[in-house]
Amino acid sequence: MDVNTAAKKPVMLSGIKPSGELTLGSYVGAIRNWAERADDYDCYYFMADLHAITVRQKPADLRRRTIEQLAQYIACGLDPEKNTLFIQSHVHEHAELGWVLNCYAMFGELSRMTQFKDKSAKNAENINGGLFTYPSLMAADILLYQPDYVPVGEDQKQHVELTRDIANRFNGVYGETFKIPQSFVPKIGARVMSLVDPTRKMSKSEDEDPGRIILMDKPEDIMRRFKRAVTDSEAEVRYDPEKKPGISNLMTIYAAATGRSFAEIEAEFAGHGYGDFKTKVGEAVVELLRPIREKTEEILKDKAYLESVYTDGARRAQYIARKTLDKVYRKVGFVRH
């Protein structure tokens, strides 16, 4: 792709940590939104391996998952010819700008981040500096590419807000440097909840959570998980996230998988029991994920192809990232050589 021509389109950027298997939540909350927009935007999507090590990872697993995640991005419809797909640690400008932005992110605002509080509670024995300054690195990931939109799930909106604050603060001191990006959250599926605890987000790093559907799950596992999904004691398929979180979550998933509205779903299942509904949701998810799983398995067989994708992606990403970092280094007063 000619970088100069592409730069005229609005820019989209996002990333996911290779900290676990991608879930149905990662797909409908994020990746699906990325894949639909390749023709109209200049898109950058990466595997956030630098972010993944804020929680302890087994090196071999991290390496394997990073490559698998790339194969899954492609299987979900991200064409590497049209989108720049890369591994975060291959573009060292992320770490460098991350350091600079740390000096413009305030202790108080970093302390208020919900993800930091959640992860600290879950990893009480490893509340490290990286976990705390995670949002400054995420701000760097974003601002290096001067994007217009950052497509993410609901839980990441707060980090994108902080990125805007940091960018505005920096621009205020040094003049126009960064474009102020906007988060882009899907209307349906911005927060897919666990099937066994619909008050908690479906999360990829909680391996043993039976309420989690991963993209590589076999049809029989998907069906089993949906059959065991937590519902309520009524027998009415009705959208009410406060009073009926389990059913509302299943409706969200069904809506995301079939494109039907909540009213249509309520009408479709009026007078039916929950068992019937759960089976239908399970079947819809099986069909949604089947092509992704099959394509991923196929792509993973060709390691040389995957290597060529991430090598080319890093080159294209770095071309843009370097320009922004240079500008920042000049503005803050570093001697250039």
Give residues in contact with ligand ATP (CB under 6 A).
16-17, 19-20, 25-26, 29-30, 152-153, 155-156, 189-192, 201-205
Instruction: Select from ligand ATP, ligand LTN, none the partner in contact with residue 26, using the beta carbon and a kind-dependent cut-off of 5 to 8 Å.
Output: ligand ATP
- In the complex with ligand LTN, which residue's Cβ is closer, 182 or 258? 182
Classify each residue of 32-41 as buried b or exposed e, where b means 16 or more C-beta atoms within 10 Å of its C-beta. bbbbebbeeb
137 token code pair: 């690195």
Shortest CB 52 distance to ligand ATP, Å: 8
Instruction: Select from ligand LTN, ligand ATP, none the partner in contact with residue 177, using the beta carbon and a kind-dependent cut-off of 5 to 8 Å.
Output: none
- Picking from 215, 257, 190, 254, the residue whose alpha carbon sits closest to that of residue 246 is 254
- In the complex with ligand ATP, which residue's Cβ is closer, 20 or 181? 20
Instruction: Select from ligand LTN, ligand ATP, none the partner in contact with residue 159, using the beta carbon and a kind-dependent cut-off of 5 to 8 Å.
Output: ligand LTN
Shortest CB 151 distance to ligand ATP, Å: 7
Q: Please give the helix or strand (H or E) that residue 258 lies within, else none.
A: helix 245-258
DSSP state of 149: E
- Could you give the angle at which helices 157-174 and 114-122 cross, rounded to 10 degrees? 130
The closest residue (CB) to ligand ATP is: 29
Catalytic residue, candidates 117, 157, 201, 323: 201
Instruction: Select from ligand ATP, ligand LTN, none the partner in contact with residue 150, using the beta carbon and a kind-dependent cut-off of 5 to 8 Å.
Output: ligand LTN
Instruction: Select from ligand ATP, ligand LTN, none the partner in contact with residue 141, using the beta carbon and a kind-dependent cut-off of 5 to 8 Å.
Output: ligand LTN
Instruction: Select from ligand LTN, ligand ATP, none the partner in contact with residue 142, using the beta carbon and a kind-dependent cut-off of 5 to 8 Å.
Output: ligand LTN
- In the complex with ligand LTN, which residue's Cβ is closer, 140 or 229? 140
- In the complex with ligand ATP, which residue's Cβ is closer, 197 or 312? 197
Distance CA(124)–CA(142), nearest Å, equals: 28
Shortest CB 277 distance to ligand LTN, Å: 30
Q: What is the DSSP string of 66-132?
A: HHHHHHHHHHTT--TTTEEEEEGGGSTHHHHHHHHHHTTS-HHHHHT-HHHHHHHHHTTT---HHHH
Contact footprint for ligand LTN (CB under 6 A)? 14-17, 48, 51, 138, 141-142, 150, 152, 156, 159
DSSP state of 196: S
Residues β-bridged to residue 14: 45
265 token code pair: 């779903």
Q: Judging by DSSP bridges, how do beta strands 42-47 and 83-87 pair with one another? A: parallel
- In the complex with ligand LTN, which residue's Cβ is closer, 80 or 135? 135
Residues β-bridged to residue 2: none
**Is 150 within 8 Å of 34 (Cβ atoms)?**
no
**Is 41 within 8 Å of 145 (Cβ atoms)?**
no
Shortest CB 202 distance to ligand ATP, Å: 4
Catalytic residue, candidates 9, 82, 157, 204: 204
- In the complex with ligand LTN, which residue's Cβ is closer, 52 or 75? 52
Q: Please give the helix or strand (H or E) that residue 288 lies within, else none.
A: helix 274-300
Catalytic site includes residue 119: yes
Instruction: Select from ligand ATP, ligand LTN, none the partner in contact with residue 205, using the beta carbon and a kind-dependent cut-off of 5 to 8 Å.
Output: ligand ATP
Region for 202 from its dihedrals, namely left if φ exceeds 0, alpha if ψ lies in -120 to 50, beta otherwise:
beta
Shortest CB 200 distance to ligand ATP, Å: 9
Shortest CB 158 distance to ligand ATP, Å: 10
- In the complex with ligand LTN, which residue's Cβ is closer, 119 or 280? 119
What amino acid positions are annotated as catalytic residues? 119, 201, 204
